[in-house]
A and B are shown apart, each in its own frame.
Chain A
Amino acid sequence: MNDPILEMRGVSKSFFGIKALRAVDLTVYAGEVHALMGENGAGKSTLMKILSGAYRPDPGGEIRIEGQPVRIEGPLGGRAAGISIIYQELSLAPNLSVAENIYLGREISRSGLLARGAMREGVGPILERLGADFLPSTLVAHLSMGQRQLVEIARALHARSKILIMDEPTTALSAGESERLFALIRQLRAEGLAIIYISHRMDEVYALGDRVTVLRDGRLVGSLDKRDIRAEAIVRMMVGRDVSSFYKKDHDPGAGKGHPVLTATDMADGKRVKGCSLTVHAGEVVGLAGLIGAGRTELAHLIVGAAPKISGRLELEGQPIDIRTTGEALEAGIAYLTEDRKALGLFLDMSCLDNINLAVLGRDAKLGWFLDRDKARERADRAFTGLSIRAANVGVPAGGLSGGNQQKVLLSRLLAIAPKVLILDEPTRGVDVGAKSEIYSIIDNLAKVGTAILVISSDLPEIIGICDRVLVMRSGLIAGEVRRTETAPLTQEDIMALATGTEHLDA
Chain B
Amino acid sequence: MAEYKKPLPAISTLNQPYWDGLKRRELTLQHCNECGKIWYPPAPFCPVCWSRNFAWQKLSGRGKVNSWVVFHQAYFSSFRDNIPYNVAEVELEEGPRLLTNLVAVDNDDIMIDMPVEIVFDDVTDEVTLAKFRPARKP
Whether chains A and B associate is no
**B interface residue numbers (CB < 8 A to A):** none
Instruction: Please give the residue numbers on chain A whose beta carbons come within 8 Å of chain B beta carbons, in ascending order.
Output: none
